[in-house]
Amino acid sequence: MRIAKVIGTTISTIKDEKLVGRKLLILRPADEKGKVYGKPYVAVDTLDAGIGDLVLTAHGSGGRQTDITQNSPVDAVIMAVIDHTVADGQVAYQKG
């Protein structure tokens, strides 16, 4: 899974019918401290994540192992909202 930060949303009128009603959030990869890096990507939100949240995303067929995403043309899902991370023996990120 990737650690990522939610930075925005995408709105689409024209889309595959299985995506109607789905929330497609824009994320940027982040390290264990919540510091973002690299290019944005999009994942389906099934947990009502908010802008600024640090989350975990599962990719590939793993992104379709939820009731909401199964059999849909998607390849990434937010499957956890991170409360905090611990690295090198101390708290590296704490949700605000």
**Contacts with a second copy, residue ranges (CB under 8 A):** 1-3, 7-16, 18-19, 24, 26, 29, 31-32, 37-43, 46-49, 51, 56, 58-66, 69, 71-77, 79-89, 92
Task: Identify which of 92, 9, 83, 23 has the alpha carbon closest to the alpha carbon of residue 53.
Answer: 83
Q: Give the nearer residue to a second copy in terms of CB position, either 14 or 96.
A: 14
Tokens matching residue 50? 């908010």
Rounded to a whole number of angstroms, the minimum distance from the CB of residue 51 to a second copy is 8
Q: Are 41 and 58 in contact (CB under 8 A)?
A: no
Question: Can you tell me the distance from the alpha carbon of 56 to that of 63, in angstroms, rounded to the nearest whole number?
Answer: 11
Rounded to a whole number of angstroms, the minimum distance from the CB of residue 68 to a second copy is 10
